[in-house]
Amino acid sequence: MAHRLEMRNMTKRYGEFTANDNICISLDQGEVLAIVGENGAGKTTLMRMLYGLEQPSSGEIILNGKKVSFSGPQEAISRGIGMVHQHFMLFYDFTVAENIVIGHEPKKYGFFRRKAADEAVQKLAEQFKIGVNTAKKAGDCSIGEQQRIEILKVLYQGADIIILDEPTAVLTPFEVDGLLKTIRFLADQGKSIILITHKLREVMKVADRVTVLRNGKVTGSVHTSETNADKLAQLMVGRQLQKLNERDSISGDILLEAKGITIGQKGEKPELDRVSLTVRHGEILGVAGVSGNGQSQLIQAITGLRAVQEGSVRLKGQDLTEENVLARRKAGISHIPEDRYLWGAAKDATVEETALMGSQRNPKYSEKSFIRKASFRTRVKDWISRFEIKTSSLQEKAGNLSGGNLQKLIVARELDFHAPLLIAAEPTRGVDIGAMEYIHEALLEKRNSGDGILLISSELSEILALSDKIAVMYEGRIAGILDRSEATEETLSVLMAGGKQHDATAKTS
């Protein structure tokens, strides 16, 4: 049988640079094909060509046995190809139903038929078992719901082939499970899915076949039944990944002591409810939890970005509760923020300016408040070579760096303060495996040198791999603190879902 879709010998060159080199993929009806690769491997370029956003330098696309070429997304959509982008394209003030039918609204005498739209969307949602509230405003929907709206929009437009670009990057673990189920269900209904990702666990769970890209070339194309995550990782990175080993506890004196931190308006349920934790020298304290359970507030309370109503923050015995961000940074806190675009950088600032934050008044790099750019540049260049940050120059805008490269820049900046305490929030979110490994190693190295790290992450695997101790947050409270030895994915999951510590340990023992 002919394939539903085939892309043959696709090549895309930008000047000297070859983004896609002779790539071939095929996709059958009812199949889930995962395309994996590190950032910059060429996944997105390939999909942009399929979706009509880019024209291939050479190669051909064969859809249902016929050769096609798309000059724009409209043509791709009309031929049954739909794409759910990583960044959603919704009108926040429109309802869910309106967002889904947009561009193809049911009309009568040129007037929009709201009720018909609602019904059509309801029917579609039921058919594909995708739960949405059609009357809600899109802006009030959670990230997971917004994604479901996007998927329904694509289905409404009649897509048979659905491209999902990094769909799980923004989701909580529960939402990820739901999405994977939806994907599987869509495939069972005869839809063909292309899943672009670099999360191998999800690939192994949901995909039928995997095509691995590296540096614009296909390095492997296999059935998931015949491979495993380690093999895929090797194909992606081109070398064996190191396993993080067991290690001895080297924890020393108390470094950070947070006591009874409470944040919230009077009379309302507090966002952060009497949270206490300690981080010792030479220790990584992991904070696990589904995002939105008070982790952001905890970070902001410790770094001084938000005032606390109750409680205290001490670093090496020094009371910092009333101090501002600058004083806390000076006292020895560095901070990899959870959202690199919101807190960690300014998109329109240059790479150099992004790197300078926090050092602009350091006597080493400024003299009588004039910044010594020359000596600072040497330092940034050192980071760029050490962390293999890909940027065209120091004057490149930070927003033009890929997510992973910007993250590496931020990590390098914060590590180079050599502060005794590092707060690392989602340090590897949206970062490819190679960079992830590098960042993890850097964190461990810092811990081994006797510094303390507060690691906040919604990736359980990351928490488990790095932490000496693990605190779980649930609804603004610490649900339990476990030792590295007693923590497993199961015990943590129970606590993350609101179970008691006792249940968690009882269940596994």
Partner 1 sequence: MMLPQRLHKLFTPLIQPLLAVLIGLLAGAIAISFVGEPVFETYKAMWEGAFGNFYFLTSTLARATPILLVGLGVALAFRAGVFNLGSEGQMVLGAVSAALAALCIPGPPVVKLLAAIVAGMLAGGLWALLAGWMESRFKVQLLISTLLLNYVAVLFASYLVAGPFQDKTGSAALAQTPMIDQGAWLPKLFPGMSVHMGFVIAIVCAVVLIVILKYTAPGYEVKMLGLNPFFAQYGGVNKVKLLLLSMFFSGALAGLAGSVEVLGSQYRYVDGALTAPGFAWTGMMAALLANSNPLGTVVTAILLAALETGAMGMERNTEVPLEVASVIQAVLILFISAKLTLKLVKFRRKEREVHGTV
* Residue 35, C-beta contacts closer than 8 angstroms, at least 6 positions apart: 25, 43, 46, 47, 194, 195, 196, 197, 210, 211, 213
- Given candidates 4, 335, 408, 469, which one binds partner 1 under the rule CB under 8 A? 335
Q: Is residue 224 within the footprint of partner 1 (CB under 8 A)?
A: no
Q: Is residue 364 within the footprint of partner 1 (CB under 8 A)?
A: no
On whether the CB atoms of residues 353 and 344 are closer than 8 A, the answer is no
- Number of residues lying near partner 1 (CB under 8 A): 34
Query: d(Cα 259, Cα 298) in Å, to the nearest integer?
Result: 11
Residue span binding partner 1 (CB under 8 A) among the ranges 14-22, 253-261, 367-375, 437-445: 367-375
- Minimum gap (Å) between residue 481 Cβ and partner 1: 24
Map the footprint of partner 1 across residues 400-439, applying CB under 8 A.
Answer: none
- Given candidates 358, 427, 476, 499, which one binds partner 1 under the rule CB under 8 A? 358
Query: Tokens 């049988």 correspond to what residue?
Result: 1
- Given candidates 121, 285, 288, 356, which one binds partner 1 under the rule CB under 8 A? 356
Residue span binding partner 1 (CB under 8 A) among the ranges 206-214, 356-364, 428-436, 447-455: 356-364
Question: HSE on the CB side for 509, CA within 13 Å?
Answer: 9
Question: Closest Cα to residue 289, out of 494, 485, 503?
Answer: 494
Map the footprint of partner 1 across residues 248-307, applying CB under 8 A.
Answer: 271, 296-297, 303, 305
Query: d(Cα 132, Cα 142) in Å, to the nearest integer?
Result: 11
Question: Closest Cα to residue 414, out of 375, 448, 374, 455?
Answer: 455
For residue 476, count other CB atoms closer than 10 A to its CB. 22
E-strand stretches of 323-476: 333-336, 366-367, 370-371, 421-425, 452-456, 469-474
- Minimum gap (Å) between residue 413 Cβ and partner 1: 10
By beta-carbon proximity to partner 1, the closer residue of 323 and 503 is 323
Q: Is residue 345 within the footprint of partner 1 (CB under 8 A)?
A: yes
- Minimum gap (Å) between residue 328 Cβ and partner 1: 8
By beta-carbon proximity to partner 1, the closer residue of 58 and 324 is 324
Query: d(Cα 428, Cα 343) in Å, to the nearest integer?
Result: 15
- In one-letter notation, the amino acid at residue 25 is I
- The CA distances from residue 76 to 63, 152, 196, 477, in Å, are 10, 17, 18, 48
Site string for partner 1, 313-332 (x = CB under 8 A): -----------xxx--x---
Q: Is residue 347 within the footprint of partner 1 (CB under 8 A)?
A: yes
By beta-carbon proximity to partner 1, the closer residue of 325 and 497 is 325
* Residue 134, C-beta contacts closer than 8 angstroms, at least 6 positions apart: 95, 96, 97, 100, 118, 121, 122, 125
Map the footprint of partner 1 across residues 63-92, applying CB under 8 A.
Answer: 92
Q: Is residue 343 within the footprint of partner 1 (CB under 8 A)?
A: yes
What is the contact surface with partner 1 in residues (CB under 8 A)? 92, 139, 271, 296-297, 303, 305, 324-326, 329, 335, 337-339, 342-349, 353, 356-358, 360-361, 366, 369-371, 373
